[in-house]
Amino acid sequence: MNIKKHIPNFITLLNLFSGCVAIVFAVYGNFVVATLFVFIGIFFDFFDGLIARKLNVQSPLGIQLDSLADLVTSGVVPGVIMFKLISLTVDAPDFASYNENWNSVFHWQGFKLSILPLIGFLIPLASAYRLAKFNLDEDQQTYFKGLPVPANTILILSLPMILEFQNNDIMNSIIINKWFLIGVTLLSCYLLNSNIKLFALKFKDWSFKTNAIRYIFLIISVVALIVLQFAALPVIIILYILLSLSDQKQIN
């Protein structure tokens, strides 16, 4: 039995396990711990492919398993969190206080479920579609076509982290707005499956000329994180897209 070839798959399963744990905390409204486990999962997601290449044990099974794990950690978890955030905007975070109006449509043995927060589950649907396309696309080796699923996850998770740690009334009022959250959901679904070419953070060499766009992105991102803290995360995602759009001819 060749144990070496199973090491990357084991790391991928740790990503999946982290995503499962994150779902539990997200369902109970503990977004901080859920986010922590998502980032642990993304950490494992980064290293499973790296170790597979180092050990020269890449396999079709590993590719499929990686996408399945990503769908949970970077697809289902942000969908659940968006569901919970939109639920907050309709004053029913615990399903116990829905108003009797068009928004309360599902009734079963005393359980009431609003239709509006279900829009958040468009995120795992769009993520699944993006991951399936990625597995079939042989062009995305040095760049991404559409926003990578982990990057979209960071965008969504930044919202509850801003609420939790920034304590800014203006930002809070923007985030706890159902139309803003629905807009972010729809925008993220579009970006995931768009044909926009986005540069990958893969350095062929360390020269500034070849990697100018990457160095600029990393420097601005570090400064933004220091100054804006969690509020920097959506700014960084927007910066990533804008820099990529500004230099489409150089992305290959």
**pLDDT of amino acid 252:** 59
**pLDDT of amino acid 108:** 60
Task: Assess contact for 73 and 91: CB atoms under 8 A.
Answer: no
> CATH number for the domain including 35?
1.20.120.1760
What is the pLDDT confidence band of residue 154, given thresholds at 50, 70 and 90?
very high
Q: In this structure, are 233 and 145 located in the same domain?
A: no
Task: Please state which of the ranges 7-21, 91-105, 149-163, 164-178 shows the lowest mean pLDDT.
Answer: 91-105
Q: Which of 153, 173, 195 is the last residue of a domain?
A: 195
Q: Considering the entire predicted model, what is its pTM?
A: 0.87
| 244: containing domain | 199-252
Q: Which of 195, 220, 235 is the last residue of a domain?
A: 195
Q: In this structure, are 110 and 229 located in the same domain?
A: no
